[in-house]
Amino acid sequence: DAGVIQSPRHEVTEMGQEVTLRCKPISGHNSLFWYRQTMMRGLELLIYFNNNVPIDDSGMPEDRFSAKMPNASFSTLKIQPSEPRDSAVYFCASIDRAGELFFGEGSRLTVL
Amino acid sequence: EDQVTQSPEALRLQEGESSSLNCSYTVSGLRGLFWYRQDPGKGPEFLFTLYSAGEEKEKERLKATLTKKESFLHITAPKPEDSATYLCAVGGKSTFGDGTTLTVKP
């Protein structure tokens, strides 16, 4: 299995631009999670989906952030408009039946 | 609100020098205590799940233990390749500690 696949691995953009991060979970995993990791705040859960339905989005910082999961094999996290404080590594993870999280390699976002 | 505190923040060991990492937690109902390893530039990698006090799990030089309020990750005779950040989490998905960065010198 290829594992959780995220793209892009690196994104550099200017303040005000739209950013879209993509994730393909492991086939057969029914839940998908988006995390953000920074030095200051560590690893924070942004949102998670179960069977493609958003269950808890209380970690989404503000209305500039949105996430979708149109099918079991694809999810997006969108930031519009982006701000410098959004600079972080964004991880996607899916979970197996034992409750073990499998993380992708992350998308490193830099907003100038 | 679930809370997870890890200590120490950083730990430097000589190769072969055993030690322990601590993860203290407060949760309304424990649905698992998870340990992960994270290498620089990579996503966290699952190590162990513990569900009940007294439970222990081992993998190579690592052993994880659990009490009602904390978990320990014991590292026996570490090697330089054990250098990484070790994260613990409760609930299986939502609340992570800040991690302990372990450096093992040859």
The residue whose two tokens read 């070790």 is B86
pLDDT recorded at residue A80: 97
φ and ψ at A84, to 5 degrees?
-55, -35
Tens digits of per-residue pLDDT, A65-84?
999 999 999 999 999 999 99
| Average pLDDT over every residue of A4-9 | 97
Closest residue to B94, CB basis, from A42, A45, A98: A45
Can you tell me the distance from the alpha carbon of A5 to that of A102, in angstroms, rounded to the nearest whole number?
10
Closest residue to A101, CB basis, from B92, B97, B98: B92
Chain A nearest CA to B87, separation (Å)? 9
- Percent of chain A at pLDDT > 90 equals 83
Which chain A residues touch B if contact means CB-CB below 8 Å? 4, 31, 33, 42-45, 48, 56, 59, 91, 93, 95, 98-106
Closest residue to B87, CB basis, from A43, A99, A106: A43
Q: B93 and A33: CB-CB below 8 Å?
A: yes
Nearest CA in chain B to A33: B93
pLDDT recorded at residue B44: 95
pLDDT recorded at residue B30: 77
Can you say how many angstroms the Cα of residue B82 is from the centroid of all Cα atoms in its chain?
12
Question: Between residues A98 and A12, which one has the greater pLDDT?
Answer: A12
pLDDT recorded at residue B22: 98
pLDDT recorded at residue A1: 63
* pLDDT for residue B93 is more than 70: no
Tens digits of per-residue pLDDT, B4-57?
999 999 999 999 999 999 999 988 877 889 999 999 999 999 999 999 999 999
B31 token code pair: 């649905």
- Give the residue among A38, A33, A10, A8 at the shortest CA–CA distance from A102: A33
Give the pLDDT band (50/70/90) at residue B79: very high
- β-sheet bridge partners, residue B44: none
- Give the residue among A89, A61, A65, A68 at the shortest CA–CA distance from B44: A89
pLDDT recorded at residue A100: 83
Chain A nearest CA to B52, separation (Å)? 15
Q: B36 and A98: CB-CB below 8 Å?
A: no
* pLDDT for residue A87 is more than 80: yes
- Give the residue among A101, A79, A88 at the shortest CA–CA distance from A32: A101
Tens digits of per-residue pLDDT, A36-55?
999 998 999 999 999 999 99
Closest residue to B43, CB basis, from A44, A99, A105: A105
| Average pLDDT over every residue of A7-34 | 96
Contacts of A56 in chain B (CB under 8 A): 94
Chain A contact for B101 (CB, 8 A cutoff): no
* CB-based contact B80:B15 (threshold 8 Å): yes
CB atoms within 10 A of CB B87: 24
